[in-house]
Amino acid sequence: MRAIQLVSETSELNEVQVNNYKDYYKLLNAELFDVVMVRWKGVDISIYVDEEGMLKSKNLGRSVKGYPNPLFGNMVICGGVDVEGNTLDLPESITIEDVKERISTPLYIIK
């Protein structure tokens, strides 16, 4: 499944493939993950985040267009979900440039 990974420490954005749920743990560098939903360019988007991101020291927080609270740590941006709740490919219409425009530079740091 096509996705885009945000590496929090470097602000690097990479196009990645997610084959199963274990890939989220690796890409997020997390033991637990959560998913938030937003809508960009008329498309549903799933953003996977470290569930414990706010608890880790020196983790960076960013604002995300369409979501009310900052998100901390690495992120994996995917498509919406199907009727069974399975995450879908990130549509080709959502590019790395689109992600750059919708996720801020770091605004917060956990000490």
The 10s digit of each residue's pLDDT in 9-33 is: 899 999 999 999 999 999 999 999 9
For 9: left if phi > 0, alpha if psi spans -120 to 50, otherwise beta; the answer is: alpha
Give this prediction's pTM.
0.94
User: Which residue matches tokens 């399975």?
Assistant: 86
pLDDT in tens, 19-69: 999 999 999 999 999 999 999 999 999 999 999 998 888 889 999 999 999
β-pairing verdict for 71-72 and 12-17: unpaired
Which residue(s) pair with 7 in the sheet? 12
User: Taking phi first (over 0 means left), then psi (-120 to 50 degrees means alpha), and beta for anything else, what does residue 11 get?
Assistant: left
Closest to 50 in 3D by CA, of 6, 4, 107 = 6
